[in-house]
Chain A
């Protein structure tokens, strides 16, 4: 396979694929769909002209594309809820040492439902933070927002998630 930019495509692929796959999977909740969307993102990357000059910029570009493809997919199909329900069915072990934490009594399914309910802006930032291994500055570059904005959104997403779970927790016996 030929080069796309001053680095081999294989290098970009190996660097970006696990991130793209995780981000897309967390948004769509469907592995096959995530695979297809990753493929689409890479094809767009290869067809892009002019090529992106650096490896890091390529990574940010690919994450941005796969994020948009995944969000579009979820919107189009309207399958968000179903996908997350399917994903969250397996019971989760919860660390017992955290006595007072509300999350203790919540299953992973509830948490993911909560994540699903978050506004898009907050959800995407939290997904990128937790699943892509990018720091605030890099997330800012992916989403084209400031580092400070990333910080605020990550905090709000976490806060909102805890609030949502808190509200739901009241109805759990």
Chain B
């Protein structure tokens, strides 16, 4: 019985188990159709290989020179672009350090921005003229053409109204709604 065409193709390429090799060879010697099949394979290969690329040696030299040129250019101009290899543990350590320093800065800056920081001591400001009402203030501004500083002193102890809200807050709300 003739071997499968696929087997013949592999036999033609010398890719058959050595145990099968001898028996197939024997068969081919007596089988004309298998011989025909093999000669077709040979012909196919012969035609495919008939024309090698002309001047493959020249191409080899051309490409070699081109690669060398490129290598020289890249090694001269791109030293700073060289790949930097950092081992994973080192990279991780750097990342952790970076993140912790960053978070430290963040915390510090947050503390500085805190609007309700505790004041250890209330300084008593020097007061030149005591102005108690808004009308007095108007009068003072109109009367004095030179620049002067106004310090508005808030009551040190909050004063609550009947509903429990600080009176200053109430006043501000009242101003807004007006």
Whether B161 sits at the interface, judged by CB under 8 Å, is no
For A136, list chain B residues within 8 Å (CB).
10, 13, 15
Whether A121 sits at the interface, judged by CB under 8 Å, is no
Docked-complex contact A43 and B50, CB < 8 angstroms: no
Chain B contacts with A in 31-84, Cβ cutoff 8 A: 36, 39-54, 56, 59-60, 62-64, 66-68, 70-71, 83
Which listed residue, A35, A42, A108, touches B47 by the CB 8 Å rule?
Answer: A108
Docked-complex contact B60 and A98, CB < 8 angstroms: no
Docked-complex contact B10 and A151, CB < 8 angstroms: yes
Docked-complex contact A100 and B56, CB < 8 angstroms: no
A31 to B66, CA, bound (A): 15
Which listed residue, A21, A101, A152, touches B43 by the CB 8 Å rule?
Answer: A101
Docked-complex contact A151 and B36, CB < 8 angstroms: no
A161 to B43, CA, bound (A): 12
A17 to B66, CA, bound (A): 13
With CB as the reference atom, state the residue of chain B lying closest to A90. Answer: B51
Docked-complex contact B39 and A101, CB < 8 angstroms: yes
For B67, list chain A residues within 8 Å (CB).
13, 39, 42-43, 46
A115 to B47, CA, bound (A): 12
Whether A25 sits at the interface, judged by CB under 8 Å, is yes
Docked-complex contact A21 and B60, CB < 8 angstroms: yes
Whether A159 sits at the interface, judged by CB under 8 Å, is yes
A129 to B50, CA, bound (A): 15
Which listed residue, A1, A101, A135, touches B71 by the CB 8 Å rule?
Answer: A1
Whether B9 sits at the interface, judged by CB under 8 Å, is yes
Whether A102 sits at the interface, judged by CB under 8 Å, is yes
A92 to B48, CA, bound (A): 10
Distance to closest chain B CB from A166 (angstroms) = 11
Docked-complex contact A130 and B43, CB < 8 angstroms: no
A111 to B45, CA, bound (A): 10
List residues of B whose CB falls within 8 A of some A CB.
5-6, 9-10, 13-15, 36, 39-54, 56, 59-60, 62-64, 66-68, 70-71, 83, 85
Closest 4 CB pairs of A and B: A155-B9, A155-B6, A103-B43, A101-B40
Known contacts A14-B60, A21-B59, then 10 further A-B pairs from the complex at CB < 8 Å, ordered by chain A residue: A1-B68, A1-B71, A17-B60, A31-B54, A38-B63, A39-B63, A90-B51, A130-B49, A135-B15, A159-B5
